Amino acid sequence: MVATVRQPSTPKLVSPLKYLRGAINQIVLVKLKDGTEYVGVLELVDNTMNVVLSDCEEIDPEGKPTAKYGRVLIRGSHILFVSINYGQVAPEIAAR
């Protein structure tokens, strides 16, 4: 009798750009390396992770808006992270 050893399956790596492009037209949270946070509708992502947000608001750490910008371009090298599906996570912010 020969024992068969199963190799653990390695998870398939997916590019972060693929996730971001899948979030086009969704409400996202973008946090910058300096701590600034923006919430808006993701319009565009390029290969260097520059993003364009529409209906964009800057929010404070409590989630309260501090400024409304409309449409903004955020340089990818300044982004710490992007939270997709933010409208589902924080519907009170998405309802504004």
> Given this model, what pLDDT does residue 62 score?
86
> Given this model, what pLDDT does residue 13 score?
78
> Given this model, what pLDDT does residue 15 score?
82
Considering only the C-alpha atoms of the chain, give the largest distance between any 2 of them, rounded to a whole number of Å: 70
Answer whether 41's CB lies under 8 Å from 26's CB.
yes
What is the residue-wise DSSP string for 28-82? EEEEETTS-EEEEEEEEE-TT--EEEEEEEEE-TTS-EEEEEEEEEE-GGGEEEE
Q: What is the mean pLDDT of each run of 10 residues along the chain (96 residues)?
A: 67 83 94 96 96 96 91 97 81 60
Say what the pTM is.
0.79
Question: Domains in the chain and their CATH numbers?
Answer: 16-94 (2.30.30.100)
Answer whether 51's CB lies under 8 Å from 20's CB.
yes
